[in-house]
Amino acid sequence: MKKDIILCGVGGQGILSIATIIGEAATEAGINLKQAEVHGMSQRGGDVQSNLRLSTENIYSDLIPQGGADVVISMEPMESLRYLPYLAKTGTIVTSSKPFVNIPNYPDEAALMAELDSMPSVVKLDIESVAKDAGNVRGANMVLLGMAAPFIEILTVEQLRKAISVIFARKGEAIVEANLKAFDMGVEASKK
């Protein structure tokens, strides 16, 4: 079994934390993993992405081929569309529905949403509002991970929860609980 995931967003939105948690869960579960990250220049408010490959078999390429991604997990709706050529025809987009506008030529929002909705499999949610409701404004990325959890399949929701506990453990029990709550709300949201 394999799962190829593209994580994306805008520099500073916390996609690497999502990658770290999936990485921890995969390592704990004994699943092979390769995760290509973007460091350096593009982190400054530009588009960022990470190719995350999980498999029970040997993984060669650090990069996912076009048409190969099972899931695109995006912190920003336009950014989720940037990787369409990489999404498998049967793949799913899990994205925040709230645009992050830091460029003058951001596309028309209605047209953008219409294009997103025209995709065969899309889950979108205003993750920032959900995180806020959960009392954890910085936990939007955990809400997103929760939304994506049912599509990751190769890892269980429970394995991901455990990884969150491990990764945030050094920041204290309160932070762990807040992030687990945000994650659980994401899981619930994707069931709807």
d(CA 189, CA 192): 6
Any contact of residue 137 with another protein (CB under 8 A)? no
Binding-site member from 3, 23, 159, 187 for another protein (CB under 8 A): 23
Q: Tell me phi and psi for residue 85, to 5 degrees.
A: -65, -15
Are 112 and 42 contacting, i.e. CB atoms less than 8 angstroms apart?
no
Any contact of residue 40 with another protein (CB under 8 A)? yes
Any contact of residue 174 with another protein (CB under 8 A)? no
User: Shortest approach of another protein to residue 63 CB, angstroms?
Assistant: 6
Any contact of residue 27 with another protein (CB under 8 A)? yes
* Neighbour-count burial for 79-98, b at 16+ CB within 10 Å, e otherwise: bbbebbebbbeebbbbbbbb
Q: Which is nearer to another protein, 10 or 155 (CB)?
A: 10
User: Shortest approach of another protein to residue 111 CB, angstroms?
Assistant: 5
Contacts of 158 (CB under 8 A, 6+ apart): none
Q: Which is nearer to another protein, 118 or 191 (CB)?
A: 118
User: Shortest approach of another protein to residue 133 CB, angstroms?
Assistant: 26
Cβ contacts of 57-64, under 8 Å, gap ≥ 24: 57/2, 57/32, 58/32, 59/2, 59/32, 59/33, 59/34, 61/34, 62/34, 62/35, 62/36, 63/36, 64/4, 64/6
* HSE value, Cβ hemisphere, 13 Å, CA-based, for 38: 20
Any contact of residue 107 with another protein (CB under 8 A)? yes
User: Shortest approach of another protein to residue 191 CB, angstroms?
Assistant: 26
Q: Which is nearer to another protein, 116 or 148 (CB)?
A: 116
User: Which of the stretches 96-104, 139-147, 150-158, 180-188 binds another protein when contact is defined by CB under 8 A?
Assistant: 96-104
Q: Say which residue the tokens 């990325």 belong to.
A: 141
Distance of CA 70 to the CA centre of its chain: 12
Per-residue binding string, another protein, 110-129, x by CB under 8 A, is: -xx--x--------------
Residues that bind another protein (CB under 8 A): 10-11, 23-24, 27, 32-47, 59-68, 78-79, 81-82, 84-87, 89, 102-108, 111-112, 115
